[in-house]
Amino acid sequence: MTWDAAMRTAIELAHNGPATGVNPRVGCVIVDADGATISEGWHRGVGTAHAEVDALSKLGEGAARGATAVVTLEPCNHWGHTGPCSEALIEAGVSRVVYAVSDPGHSSGGGAERLREAGVEVIGGVLADEVESFLDDWLTAARLGRPHITLKWASSLDGRAAADDGTSTWITGAAARQRVHEQREASDAIVVGTGTVLADDPSLTARGDAGELMRTQPTPVVVGMRGVPKDAAIFRHPNPVIFEGTHDVHEVVADLHQRGFRRVYVEGGPTLASAFVEAGLVDEFAIYLAPTLLGGGRLALGDIGVGTIAEQRLLRIQSVEQLGADLLIRAVPEPSRESSQPSQNTEQSQREGN
């Protein structure tokens, strides 16, 4: 029997979970010995039942005996807010567990081994690529022990992020700006430098077409030593602003991870963006290119530590999309050029909020 169809359903179920926060989105389908689906479940966020337990809870006593649990992420093996899913599956009497991607967490991983020890057949890697791509941000955070970081900027075709007088609203058109709001909504935090707050007075909210606030709002984060005017628009953000009074981006990232942020969207400006690039702390670039020329010296990036061509930061383009008159280029660092070493935080539980 192939488990692809059940895994596809599990992936669809996983989409019901919250896109932000500490925990991954996970879906689970329970299939009986004849291949019929008898229950479905998904994880609704920190402190709530995991997908496997959610699916099991909808079944009567003994109904899962001999069944197969198809789940997008390896069942966890630790006590968080809830008990280990591996134990719940063993107790329910399932005879087989099929999963897509291994749990990279040091304390939450190991569920597959525990299940095998208890005599449950375990099959891993089913539709792994699809789930890897769906959980990309969360997996990066879990593997590296820091948030997944997207760096966004908007520039003219000649690579300028602002006109000579510092004005930059707006370089891109409405469709591109709307996409930025969607990307903000899918992030836990938006990070800017003090220079951007002082120049642009951004509100850093995620807004819809008509300017209305979207359901999920990222937390605004301002990096730098200077103060911000009391009447700055960020103070009207629904979430309290976090001020990081440092120029050390590693420190900023460690603090954001500590606060439970797993998806961070860095919106510049050029000074802060350059510091993130130089530190090798960018997992994805979202570059909005507008068909306009600005000239002058306000480049999208400044010094990123490239003194000679051999030190260039190579990227791999993942997609190019036209949004109105603008282009959105999504790119990732070529792995050989960026440090992908886990930080010391990797030892921590990666699903600590369970």
Ligand X SMILES: NC(=O)c1ccc[n+]([C@@H]2O[C@H](COP(=O)([O-])OP(=O)(O)OC[C@H]3O[C@@H](n4cnc5c(N)ncnc54)[C@H](OP(=O)(O)O)[C@@H]3O)[C@@H](O)[C@H]2O)c1
Catalytic residues: 52
Is 226 one of the binding residues for ligand X (CB under 6 A)?
A: yes
Q: Which stretch binds ligand X (CB under 6 A): 64-72, 135-143, 164-172, 178-186?
A: 164-172
For residue 153, give the nearest of 185, 187, 176 by alpha carbon.
176
> How far is residue 341 from each of residues 109, 143, 207, measured CA to CA in Å?
19, 9, 35
| Tokens matching residue 344 | 């010391």
Closest approach of ligand X to the CB of residue 150, in Å: 13
Is 58 one of the binding residues for ligand X (CB under 6 A)?
A: no
Comparing CB distances to ligand X, the nearer of 127 and 331 is 331
* Cα separation, 29 vs 39, whole angstroms: 6
15: exposed, middle or buried (C-beta count within 10 Å: 0-12, 13-18, 19+)? exposed
Comparing CB distances to ligand X, the nearer of 134 and 285 is 285
The structure tokens 């600590």 sit at 352
21: left (phi over 0), alpha (psi -120 to 50) or beta: left
Comparing CB distances to ligand X, the nearer of 141 and 221 is 221
Q: Which of 3, 99, 153, 261 binds ligand X (CB under 6 A)?
A: 153
Is 290 one of the binding residues for ligand X (CB under 6 A)?
A: no
Comparing CB distances to ligand X, the nearer of 40 and 326 is 326
Comparing CB distances to ligand X, the nearer of 1 and 320 is 320
Is 171 one of the binding residues for ligand X (CB under 6 A)?
A: yes
Please identify the residue of the shown chain whose CB is closest to the bound ligand X: 195
For residue 281, give the nearest of 258, 256, 309 by alpha carbon.
256
Is 280 one of the binding residues for ligand X (CB under 6 A)?
A: no
Comparing CB distances to ligand X, the nearer of 98 and 162 is 162
DSSP 158: T
Please tell me whether residue 185 adopts helix, strand or coil conformation: helix
Comparing CB distances to ligand X, the nearer of 55 and 300 is 300
Q: Which stretch binds ligand X (CB under 6 A): 4-12, 127-135, 223-231, 344-352?
A: 223-231
With a CB cutoff of 8 Å and minimum separation 6, the contacts of 190 are 184, 204, 218, 219, 220, 221, 264, 265, 266, 267
Report the DSSP pairing between strands 148-156 and 284-290. parallel
For residue 279, give the nearest of 291, 261, 266, 298 by alpha carbon.
266
Is 333 one of the binding residues for ligand X (CB under 6 A)?
A: no
Is 301 one of the binding residues for ligand X (CB under 6 A)?
A: no
Is 137 one of the binding residues for ligand X (CB under 6 A)?
A: no
Is 268 one of the binding residues for ligand X (CB under 6 A)?
A: yes
Are the CB atoms for 22 and 43 separated by under 8 Å? Answer: no
CA torsion 273→278→279→284, rounded to 10°? 60
Closest approach of ligand X to the CB of residue 272, in Å: 4
Q: Which of 206, 223, 264, 282 binds ligand X (CB under 6 A)?
A: 223
Is 65 one of the binding residues for ligand X (CB under 6 A)?
A: no
Q: Count CB atoms within 10 A of the CB of residue 202.
A: 17
60: exposed, middle or buried (C-beta count within 10 Å: 0-12, 13-18, 19+)? exposed
* Contacts with ligand X, 186-215, as mask; x by CB under 6 A: ------xxxxx--xx---------------
Question: What number of chain residues touch ligand X (CB under 6 A)?
Answer: 28
Q: Which of 21, 270, 280, 333 binds ligand X (CB under 6 A)?
A: 270
Q: Which of 247, 250, 259, 313 binds ligand X (CB under 6 A)?
A: 247
Query: Footprint of ligand X on this chain (CB under 6 A)?
Result: 153-155, 161-162, 166, 168, 171, 192-196, 199-200, 223-226, 247, 249, 267-272, 275
